[in-house]
């Protein structure tokens, strides 16, 4: 039977996002990839900061003015959360590579630990940074 003669099925041939219900494991997998991209972009911004520091006080003043602005704070906070999430979730992946945490309960629990652990780690870093350098 040729392709044109085959009856068409209304359902997709392979599972897709419309078929699956959203679960924390799916979200952490997507976030891990997304935070990797954000880390690359943030590293470019960090390189720009280092170049402005090397270029002199005027350029550094301009860069630090941006970093202290509300948009700069949002960018730096988002980059630091991305770093924390990618780190914690990467550790989870390393443990799974070692053969740990493959039961469904462990997988779900460890995914939630990645989410909340990254938020706690980011908050701790920012509290320490703000109290140490007079931001608070």
Binned average pLDDT, 10 residues per bin, the chain of 136 residues: 63 67 89 96 95 96 94 95 97 92 91 96 93 69
HSE toward the beta carbon, residue 2, CA cutoff 13 A: 2
Q: Is the pTM of this model over 0.75?
A: yes
Q: Which of 52, 81, 86 is nearest to 67 (CA)?
A: 52
CA 104 to chain centroid: 23
HSE at residue 51, side-chain half, CA atoms within 13 A, is 6
Q: What does the alpha-carbon distance between residue 129 and residue 131 come to, in Å, rounded to a whole number? A: 6
Closest residue by Cα to residue 75 from 47, 43, 42: 42
CA distance 57 to 1: 75
Please give the Cα distance from 27 to 81 (Å, whole number): 15
pLDDT at 75 (0 to 100): 95
Q: How high is the pLDDT of residue 135?
A: 59
């Amino acid at each position: 039977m040729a392709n044109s003669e085959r009856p068409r099925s209304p359902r997709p041939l392979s599972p897709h996002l419309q078929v699956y219900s959203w679960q924390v494991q799916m979200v952490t997998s997507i976030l891990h990839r997304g935070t990797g991209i954000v880390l690359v972009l943030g590293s470019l911004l960090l390189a720009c900061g280092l170049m402005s520091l090397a270029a002199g006080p005027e350029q550094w003043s301009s860069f630090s003015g941006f970093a202290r602005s509300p948009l700069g704070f949002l960018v730096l906070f988002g980059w630091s959360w991305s770093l924390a999430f990618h780190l914690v979730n990467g550790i989870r992946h390393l443990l799974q590579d070692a053969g740990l945490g493959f039961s469904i309960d462990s997988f779900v629990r460890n995914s939630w630990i990645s989410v909340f652990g990254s938020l706690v780690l980011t908050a701790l870093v920012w509290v320490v940074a703000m109290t140490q350098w007079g931001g608070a």
